[in-house]
Chains A and B, each alone.
Chain A
Amino acid sequence: MYDGLAAAADLPRGWTDEQEAGSFRLKPQGNQAFFGCTVGQHSWKTFLLPPRTKLWQAERQGHGVEIVPHQEQTPKFAFIGVRPCDLHAIAVQDRVFLEGPYVDPVYQARRRLAFIVAVNCTRAGGTCFCASMGTGPQATTGFDLALTEILHGLEHYFLVEVGSDQGAEVLQEVPHKPATTAVQTLANKLIQETTAHMGRHLDSDGLKELLYRHYDHPRWDEVASRCLTCGNCTLVCPTCFCNAIEDVTDLTGEHAERWRRWDVCFNVDHSYIHGGSIRTSAKARYRQWLIHKLATWIDQFGCSGCVGCGRCITWCPVGIDITAEVRAIRESEKEE
């Protein structure tokens, strides 16, 4: 989980995770690495797009109404330990919330102040498939500082790459020295080994076209028979951005507020219009989520909505695996 850090001692030093479809276990890893865990149920959207945000409040004044925007002291975050997949997820949400035609002011204010320390992955989790999505395991852009944690024999140190002027300034405060070629080679080797040990693989070649061809595939019925439509996948997904507007009032009826909260496309209400919902079956809702993530997202924002972090696989209570669902559809085409 991601939460406030007061000191380096708050990091889960010496711990690692074991992830499989529907399963997440923490265990001691037998060394003193600070960043032995890959990704958990939280993602950085929790901070950039808070689960609940007050947008404005209104007071009744006679027959009139006064509506006042909610003033928030924008919190200034430094994100420590952002994995390359999550760096890409932030870049994906930047496209959604900052590239118009309308900009989200809450996201924009928080995003502008965020300082990002990325950590390259030297171990792939059981449900990771960033290599398939081209988003990891090495951070290439979108960070202020990027670390590679190296435990080599008795040595334990970080290789640092500077990604911004602000990153360079921060680095000045920390004891450091130029990296030798040997250290860089060692770091590259660790990252390459990570690529070779991805827990999952998703063939993304022509994926949009594949899914557009198969809106009526029998696999949607099959997966719907397992899907609980709980929406866990959307809440743990670092790019899912749906949110709902909630208008509330108090008992006097004189004061009203507008809140925005994360929403889930697996809820029947998500597609409600007067008279009923458009996507009533579990099949339609699962299909909307998956095809949006992997296909329509590309038409909407020019990139995939999936960064290969594997959270939706790990945190699905029945272990539905997005890579297996795509594979089933792809392989059915080969059989035809």
Chain B
Amino acid sequence: MVSNAPAHRPQAAGLPTPMLPQPFQIQRVSQETPDTFTLVLQPASGTAPFCFLPGQFNMLYAFGVGEVPISISGDPAHTQILVHTIRAVGTVTKAIQKLKPGRVLGVRGPFGSHWPVAEAAGHDIVIVVGGLGLAPLRPAIYQILAHRAEYGNFELIVGARTPADLLYHKELERWRGRFDFRVHVTVDSASPAWRNNVGVVTTLIPRARFDPWQTAALVCGPGVMMRFTVQELLQRGVKPENIYISMERNMQCGIGLCGHCQLGPYFICKDGPVFAFDQIEKWFALREI
């Protein structure tokens, strides 16, 4: 049994109050897909390390515009930089998209629960992601690869709408060249030039090699994708308490005080965003909850 009980949750380290954003300067911007980009940030002053656990998120503030919750997608071992992959879909994320290197963002965090990466040592690992879902899981992948010997089989299944929507494609290529884990990629639709899988991610789960009784599955993507992926994993015999999913809600405070992110008895920002499936199974199935 693996656990990511809230006891492991660190307080927002080094912040005078978790309600006050700290200025971070944009070092680098890279375009991932037509509407998604990755920012590399550093503290605007000082060199205090930014420590986080895979799966946690920050609140990013665009000056005068507003704030959005964005999961951290860098390597937890690299504490001198902070990496976020963002899809420009709303007022704030579009304002962030316009910022050039050298400009400053406000950062509050890290907040929330984490993928049970350290806790899953000794297990086979299956990571299933859809679309932008790869971003919050990339820190977990880095951490697992850094301690590869501690885990059994490691399978990464990545789905996207089209090849152009795949995040981190150069990194995916590098990962596919490694012999210590298997990377499966599929897209919903593609031109004939695409020489890889076409279809939803669930079709690849039967191909993944893992011992269901000794497996931790980490799943992130759109709601429908997570629902069918969890079903498939359960069918293969993975225990519900060893399947982890990351939930999304309106978040404004990040610290469980504003009430927006409730899902049944949980505040996604402080009890989640990462939950063991058995923890939220009952609420996951309800509509408009």
Q: Which residues of A contact B (CB under 8 A)?
A: 55-56, 58, 60, 63-67, 69, 96-97, 101-102, 104-105, 215, 241-245, 247-249, 253, 256, 260, 263, 265, 270-275, 278-281, 283-284, 288, 292, 296, 299-300
Taking CB atoms, residues of chain A closer than 8 Å to B6 are 101
Question: Once the chains bind, are A271 and B250 in contact (CB under 8 Å)?
Answer: yes
Contact of B288 among A105, A256, A278 (CB under 8 A): A278
Question: Once the chains bind, are A104 and B44 in contact (CB under 8 Å)?
Answer: no
Contact of A243 among B16, B66, B259, B267 (CB under 8 A): B259
Question: Once the chains bind, are A273 and B102 in contact (CB under 8 Å)?
Answer: no
Interface string of B93-110 (1 = CB under 8 A from A): 000000000111010000
Taking CB atoms, residues of chain B closer than 8 Å to A288 are 262, 289
Closest A residue to B92 by beta carbon equals: A247
* Among listed B18-26, B115-123, B151-159, interface-contacting one: B18-26
Question: Once the chains bind, are A67 and B106 in contact (CB under 8 Å)?
Answer: yes
Taking CB atoms, residues of chain A closer than 8 Å to B104 are 63-65
CA distance A248 to B267 in the complex (A): 26
Measured as residues with beta carbon below 8 angstroms from the partner, the interface class of chain B is 35 or more
Contact of B252 among A241, A244, A274 (CB under 8 A): A244
A270 with B288: in contact, given A63-B103, A300-B267 (CB under 8 Å)? no
A263 to chain B, nearest CB (A): 7
Question: Once the chains bind, are A265 and B259 in contact (CB under 8 Å)?
Answer: yes
Q: Is the interface of A mostly helix, strand, loop or mixed?
A: mixed
A60 with B258: in contact, given A215-B289, A271-B250, A272-B250 (CB under 8 Å)? no
Taking CB atoms, residues of chain A closer than 8 Å to B44 are 64-65
Interface string of B248-289 (1 = CB under 8 A from A): 111011011111101011010010000000000000001111
Q: Can you list 27 residue pairs at the A/B interface with Cβ under 8 Å?
A: A58-B63, A58-B64, A60-B63, A64-B104, A65-B23, A67-B23, A69-B17, A101-B270, A102-B11, A104-B257, A241-B257, A241-B259, A243-B252, A244-B252, A247-B65, A247-B66, A248-B64, A256-B63, A256-B64, A263-B259, A263-B260, A270-B250, A272-B250, A275-B89, A288-B262, A288-B289, A296-B265
Question: Once the chains bind, are B262 and A102 in contact (CB under 8 Å)?
Answer: no
Taking CB atoms, residues of chain A closer than 8 Å to B21 are 67
B124 lies within 8 A of chain A by Cβ: no
CA distance A268 to B47 in the complex (A): 42
Known pairs A65-B63, A270-B250, A280-B288 / 7 extra A-B pairs, C-beta < 8 Å? A63-B104, A69-B17, A102-B256, A102-B257, A245-B253, A288-B262, A288-B289
Taking CB atoms, residues of chain A closer than 8 Å to B66 are 245, 247
Taking CB atoms, residues of chain B closer than 8 Å to A242 are 258-260
Taking CB atoms, residues of chain B closer than 8 Å to A281 are 288
B90 lies within 8 A of chain A by Cβ: yes
B244 lies within 8 A of chain A by Cβ: no
B75 lies within 8 A of chain A by Cβ: no
Taking CB atoms, residues of chain A closer than 8 Å to B22 are 67
Taking CB atoms, residues of chain A closer than 8 Å to B270 are 101-102
CA distance A288 to B258 in the complex (A): 15
Question: Once the chains bind, are B23 and A102 in contact (CB under 8 Å)?
Answer: no
Question: Once the chains bind, are A243 and B258 in contact (CB under 8 Å)?
Answer: yes
CA distance A278 to B283 in the complex (A): 13
Closest A residue to B99 by beta carbon equals: A63
Taking CB atoms, residues of chain A closer than 8 Å to B249 are 271, 273, 278
Question: Once the chains bind, are A245 and B67 in contact (CB under 8 Å)?
Answer: yes
Closest B residue to A295 by beta carbon equals: B265
Taking CB atoms, residues of chain B closer than 8 Å to A66 are 23
A264 to chain B, nearest CB (A): 10
Question: Once the chains bind, are B250 and A215 in contact (CB under 8 Å)?
Answer: no
B52 lies within 8 A of chain A by Cβ: no
Question: Once the chains bind, are B286 and A55 in contact (CB under 8 Å)?
Answer: no
Q: Which of A56, A60, A271 has the most CB of B within 10 A?
A: A271
Question: Once the chains bind, are A55 and B19 in contact (CB under 8 Å)?
Answer: yes
Closest A residue to B258 by beta carbon equals: A243
Taking CB atoms, residues of chain A closer than 8 Å to B23 are 64-67
B9 lies within 8 A of chain A by Cβ: yes
Taking CB atoms, residues of chain B closer than 8 Å to A64 are 23, 25, 44, 104
Closest B residue to A285 by beta carbon equals: B288
Taking CB atoms, residues of chain B closer than 8 Å to A271 are 249-250, 260
Closest A residue to B89 by beta carbon equals: A274
Closest B residue to A264 by beta carbon equals: B259
Taking CB atoms, residues of chain A closer than 8 Å to B17 are 69, 105
Question: Once the chains bind, are A245 and B63 in contact (CB under 8 Å)?
Answer: no
CA distance A249 to B91 in the complex (A): 15
Question: Once the chains bind, are A247 and B67 in contact (CB under 8 Å)?
Answer: yes
CB-CB contacts below 8 Å: B210-267 with A: 248-250, 252-253, 255-260, 262, 264-265, 267
B61 lies within 8 A of chain A by Cβ: yes
CA distance A300 to B261 in the complex (A): 13
CA distance A56 to B18 in the complex (A): 12
A45 to chain B, nearest CB (A): 13
A65 with B106: in contact, given A245-B258, A247-B67, A281-B288 (CB under 8 Å)? yes
Nearest 5 interchain pairs by C-beta: A249-B64, A242-B259, A299-B265, A284-B288, A102-B255
